[in-house]
Amino acid sequence: MARFQYLKGNSFFHRMDPTWKFVWNFVVVGTVILNFDLLYTALWFVYAFLLAVFLAQIPIRQYLRSILLFVGIALFIALWKSVYYAEEAQVLFAWGPINVTQEGILEGFASFFRVLVIVSLSVIFTLTTDPGRMVESLIQVAKVPYRIGYTAYAALRFIPIYENEAQVITNAHQIRGVGETGKSLRSKARLYRSLLVPLLVSGIRRAQAASIAMDSRGFGAYAKRTIIHEVKVSRSTMVFVLVHIAIGAVAFYYYIILGHGIQFLG
């Protein structure tokens, strides 16, 4: 869990308005996937890494820990593509039924960096965004109705409680001898299945209690509610995001309209 939890801080990305940050994330991902070129995606990855370390001030160790799992997956994709390539391709060397192709390697590692760019951006977003501020921003900047925004907020508050409860239930079931062999998939499945019912029952009960408590304090009385913390979007945030939108537009024109980019083959 700690891999993807908000880290307190005061970097450029921490101060950025969450809604704008989300748009930025979306735009950059969109730009990266316009061209399936190894160098292009690799450069974007280096850029994302630098942003994470310098503008988001994520400690390198934390950053590596967060992306580690995905490095494995990305590497798997890369190797898979190097070996199995659907189209006609130049075979570099063959070993039994396995043909390692040049196109396969290029495209495989382009995918590798593509996955890592997307993961890096998500890591920047989740590690620098205070969930509370995100909800405020969604309501005030993105104009999401507060009833919906607040439901998300309440859910956030309940996450640690449910985690804790799931742990207690797992313990209680271990005492009873459920899933005690531990290793086999069947006993694991059994453990999770028996976890679900009590967790749902208490979840529903708590949700009902929470909604009654919220209603009794006037939740949903009017279409709007008093804004206590006004969300302000700084000029630097706007400039930063707009520059990326411009880069995205240029890339779109060059690679898609003019057709210079390498498209996904297979």
Partner 1 sequence: MTEPIVKVSGLTYYYQGEEEPALRDVNLGVYPGEFVLMIGPSGCGKSTLALCLNGIIPTVLGGRIKGRVYIDGVDTRESTVYELGTKIGIVFQDPDAQLCNLYVGEEVAFGPANLMMDKEVVLERVERALEDVGENEIKHKLIYEISGGQKQRVAIASILAMDPKIIVFDEPTANLDPLGAVQVFDLMKRINQEKGITIVVIEHNVDSVMCHADRLILMEKAIIRYSGPPRELMREKGRFILDDLGLRIPQVCELGLMMEERGVCFRPFPLTINEAVEAISLQRERLEFLPEQSTALQREKPQPVIQTDGLNFVYPDGTHAVKDASLEINKGDVVSIVGKNGSGKTTLVSLFVGLNKPTSGKGMVCGLDLATATIRELTGKVGYVFQYPEHQFVEDTVYKEVAFSLKAQKRPPEEVDARVNQVLELLGLEQMKDKHPFRLSMGQKRRLSVATMLILNTDILILDEPTTGQDRKNIDNIMEIMMETNRTGTTIILITHDMNLVAKYSNKIMIMDEGEVVFYGSKSDFFHNFSTIRSSTLVLPEIYKLAQVLREKRICQIPEVSTVEDFVSAVEVK
In Å, what is the CA distance from 66 to each residue of 22, 124, 126, 186? 19, 10, 11, 30
3-state secondary structure of 97: coil
Q: Does 210 bind partner 1 (CB under 8 A)?
A: yes
How far apart are CB 175 and partner 1 at their closest, in Å?
A: 5
Q: 211-233 burial, b if ≥16 CB within 10 A, otherwise e?
A: eeeeeeeeeeeeeeeeeeeeeee
Nearest to partner 1 of 43, 155 (CB atom)? 155
CA dist 81 and 112 (Å) reads 10
How far apart are CB 21 and partner 1 at their closest, in Å?
A: 19
User: Which residues have CB under 8 Å from 251's CB, separation 6+?
Assistant: 31, 34, 35
Nearest to partner 1 of 183, 235 (CB atom)? 183
CA dist 62 and 123 (Å) reads 10
Question: Of the listed pieces 23-31, 39-47, 63-71, 154-162, which binds partner 1 according to CB under 8 A?
Answer: 154-162
By the 10 Å C-beta count (0-12 exposed, 13-18 middle, 19+ buried), 115 is classed as buried
Q: Does 222 bind partner 1 (CB under 8 A)?
A: yes
Q: Does 174 bind partner 1 (CB under 8 A)?
A: yes
Report the chain's terminal Cα–Cα distance, integer Å.
35
Question: Of the listed pieces 18-26, 198-206, 233-241, 246-254, which binds partner 1 according to CB under 8 A?
Answer: 198-206
Nearest to partner 1 of 30, 132 (CB atom)? 132
Contact with partner 1 (CB under 8 A) among 64, 69, 168, 250: 168
3-state secondary structure of 198: helix
Nearest to partner 1 of 87, 180 (CB atom)? 180
Nearest to partner 1 of 168, 243 (CB atom)? 168
Q: Does 153 bind partner 1 (CB under 8 A)?
A: yes
Question: Of the listed pieces 28-36, 56-64, 105-113, 218-226, which binds partner 1 according to CB under 8 A?
Answer: 218-226
Contact with partner 1 (CB under 8 A) among 37, 99, 122, 206: 206
CB 24 within 8 A of CB 137: no
Residues that bind partner 1 (rule: CB under 8 A) add up to a total of 47
3-state secondary structure of 51: helix
How far does Cα 233 stand from its chain's mean position?
23
Contact with partner 1 (CB under 8 A) among 39, 68, 201, 249: 201
How far apart are CB 205 and partner 1 at their closest, in Å?
A: 8
Rg (CA), the chain: 24
Q: Does 218 bind partner 1 (CB under 8 A)?
A: yes
By CB under 8 A, name the binding residues for partner 1: 131-132, 150, 153-154, 156-158, 160-161, 165, 168-169, 171-178, 180, 194, 197-198, 201-202, 206, 209-222, 224-228
